[in-house]
Structure 1
Amino acid sequence: MLMRLPDKKHKHSCEDHDHDHKHDHAHDHGHGGHHHHHIEIKSEADISKAFVIGGVLNLVFVVFELAIGFMTGSVSLIADAVHNLSDVVALFLSWIGFKLNKSKPSPQFTYGLKKTSLVITFINSITLILSLIYILFEAYHRFIQPQPIAEDKIILVAGLGIAVNFFSAFLFRKNQHDVNVKGAYLHLMMDAFISLGVVVAGFGIKFTGWTILDPIAACLIVIFIAKGTFSLLRESFVLLVAGVPLAIDSAQVRSQILSCTEVAEIHDLHIWSLSSSDVALTAHIKMKEQKHPGDLFLKNLSQMLRQKFTISHVTIQIEIGDSQDVNCELDNKC
């Protein structure tokens, strides 16, 4: 995600940038203000359908590929099938996470069940890593004990796997700002490349007779997909523990708020993910003048944070004069 970085030297009034947005609203609560805007994922029904179609297609193919893999004795084909099976589970979990991400708030769960989707995304990345470990384990045994392989069947089945996985990934090509959708897309694309590697290994064995190419292909596939897997794990972990999303620089956010001419200082700044697609911010802002800046200031500040940093839920507490919030214990610099 690309962000336009603010100019630290430029001071401007947040009241100078009033834009008309249909879904914007601001609330003034005593000495604070609250503004929020939710980014909706388009075609929710289409995405749900994509999860179902992709899951069913891959489940049918897994059963077929496992059977052929054991018949031919190909570790790369078996590994591909096991990895596909993990992705069937991943698609199911991602679909649940996507649906929970749309849950409505309740008196007990005031943000809804959106946070659950982050837990599911983390589980997805863990299952993918376990699949990689299994592939390496099977490849190691085939290095030690090479076995004859029916390469023609391997090429045919793996070729079918490429078609199934690319088609399934195509269903998720859009709306990847949701981590669950992104995770599903990444799983399926990895499976397609794994199948491609198996096809290459099959042709290599066919023309050279070197059965060791089968476990070599499996190891190369693991190396190829490991980077993306650990990246997804890191991203989901940061979101799960309420860390600042990797695409947002908290120092730049602080600098942008301070660039408003009305603002004297900012403290108790917190940025975290409410879900796989919604980011929240809370902050205490001390004003230069001995009066509340008004709803227009809060509205424009919220719009600016959303446009520059994709922060969709902003809560600001205004402090005037020498007032000090005794509750900001999380910020040691208060």
Structure 2
Amino acid sequence: MGHNHHHGHNHSHSDLKGRNLLISIVLNVGITAAQVVGGILSGSLALLSDALHNFSDVLSLIISFLANKLSKKRASSKKTFGYKRAEILAAFINAATLIVVAVVLMIEATKRFVDPQEIGSDLVIWLSLVGIVANGFSVLLLKKDASENMNMKSAYLHLLTDMMASVAVFIGGWLMKWYQIYWVDALLTLLIGIYLIYMGYDLLKESTKVLMLFTPKSITVNEIVESICTIEPVKNVHHVHIWQLNEDEIHMEAHIDFKEDIKLSEFDEILNRIEEHVYHKHGINHVNIQPEYDKCDSKTIIVQD
């Protein structure tokens, strides 16, 4: 059995991610408290719904923060992969809560359409401005990491959607103040809910694929098999498994049948060539190969349980 891998860690970058998450948590705790009080005093469902979403932000940011810390813990004999999937699990939980919050908001908005109520618009306007500024700052903190880390993307999406919700609430506050269009409060809440589902679904789908060990969408198994078979003296590649462990690691294991009974030193050289090939061409950085010669098993099954 041969195993090789390419990997790297950036602890200072990870510490920076943790600090940015912590700042965002503190900001969102303050926003949530202010919006709950303001929503009750003004009677605004949109403001209360924004507060509920902000509360889900706090929970999601805490989950992301803990996952970020856990992912840095070393592997052990009882946890041979360590906590490398903690951030993927956090992304899944956050995406799921985003959709649940959206459904709750939409149900409440539908009820308010039937019975629109007068809203204290001045308080709505000022508190929505606070939400825009605070969430906007948090979005800027997390934006860079969101493009390369699923956990950070889930936290970023929570904050981005909440900033947009605050913008919608601000616009609604002005419409209620100057035109007394109170049903717009329910309409905005409904639109916020729809947008949350739209944003959360894709992340939920992607994190589910990783947790289920699906082959990454950028990789074609047959193409990898064909390219490895061009390396002499490889005869056949079968029983292939390719999965994504986390944001940074894609693993591949396979059985390789050789044309001749090669030496172990020769196998090591071929393994290095295979490793370099799949890493540079397909981004696979952990390769686990079982060498075979004249073994009685099916060579035609490329993928099997």
Q: TM-score, normalised by structure 2?
A: 0.89
Residue identity in the other structure for 1:323: K
- Whether the 8 Å CA contact 1:101–1:275 is kept in 2: the answer is no
Tell me the CA shift for residue 307 of structure 1.
2.9
Structure 2 unaligned runs (5+)? none
2:251 maps to a residue whose letter is A
Deviations 1:64-100 (A, max 9, x none): 1111011111111111110110011101111111222
| Residues 1:164 and 2:137 aligned together | no
Q: 1:40 aligns with which of 3, 6, 9?
A: 9
Larger RCO, structure (CA 8 Å, separation 6 or more): 1
1:218 paired with 2:189, answer yes
Letter in 2 for 1:285: I
Q: Tell me: CA distance 1:209–1:256, structure 2 relative to 1, closer, same or farther (3 Å).
A: farther
Matched residues in 1 for 2:221 and 2:158: separation?
Answer: 30
Q: Answer yes or no: is 1:317 the counterpart of 2:286.
A: no
Q: 1-side partners of 2:226 and 2:186: how far apart?
A: 52
Query: What corresponds to 2:274 in structure 1?
Result: 301
* In structure 2, C-alpha distance between the alignment counterparts of 1:191 and 1:324, rounded to whole Å: 59
Distance change in 2, residues 1:218/1:38 (3 Å): same
Q: State the number of aligned residues.
A: 300
In 2: Cα distance, 1:175 partner to 1:324 partner:
49
Structure with the largest fraction of helix: 2
In structure 2, C-alpha distance between the alignment counterparts of 1:255 and 1:219, rounded to whole Å: 51
Q: In structure 2, how many angstroms separate the alpha carbons of the residues matched to 1:174 and 1:256?
A: 35
Alignment partners' CA distance in 2, 1:128 and 1:44: 25
Q: Deviations over 1:165-215 (max 9, x none)?
A: 121121112233221112111111111111111112222223322111111
Identity %: 32
Q: Is the 8 A contact 1:266 1:284 kept in 2?
A: yes
In structure 1, runs of 5+ residues without a counterpart are 1-31
1:168-317 to 2 correspondences below 5 Å: 168-176=138-146, 177-260=148-231, 262-291=233-262, 293-317=266-290
Structure 1: distance between partners of 2:222 and 2:196: 32
Most deviating of 306-315 and 94-103? 306-315
C-alpha distance 226-261 of structure 1, shift in aligned 2 (>3 A): farther
State how far apart, in whole Å, the 2-side matches of 1:229 and 1:236 are.
11
The whole-number CA distance in structure 1 between the counterparts of 2:159 and 2:227 is: 39
Whole-Å separation in 2 of the counterparts to 1:35 and 1:282: 11
C-alpha separation in 2, matches of 1:294 and 1:263: 10
TM-fit CA distance, 1:116: 3.3
**1:22 counterpart residue number:** none
* Residue 152 of structure 2 corresponds to residue 143 of structure 1: no
Deviation for aligned residue 1:134: 1.4
Q: Relative to 1, partners in 2 of residues 1:227 and 1:324: Cα closer, same or farther, differing over 3 Å?
A: farther
For 1:237, what is the secondary structure of its paired residue?
Answer: helix
Where 1:43 maps in the other structure, the secondary structure is helix
TM-score (norm 1): 0.82
Letter in 1 for 2:4: H
Alpha-carbon displacement from aligned partner over 1:84-136 (angstroms, at most 9, x marks no partner): 10011101111111222222111111111223333322211121111101111
Partner SS state of residue 172, structure 1: helix
Contact 1:245–1:273 (8 Å) recurs in 2 = yes
Q: 2:48 aligns with which of 56, 75, 78?
A: 78
The residue that corresponds to 2:79 in the other structure is: 109
**Letter of the aligned partner of 2:283 in structure 1?**
T
The amino acid of 2:153's aligned partner reads K
Q: SS of 1:52's equivalent?
A: helix
Aligned equivalents of 1:114, 1:223: Cα separation in 2:
32
Assess if the C-alpha contact under 8 Å between 2:233 and 2:259 holds in 1: yes
Cα deviation, 1:254-301, whole Å, max 9, x if unaligned, reads: 344345454322111111222343221111122344425433332232
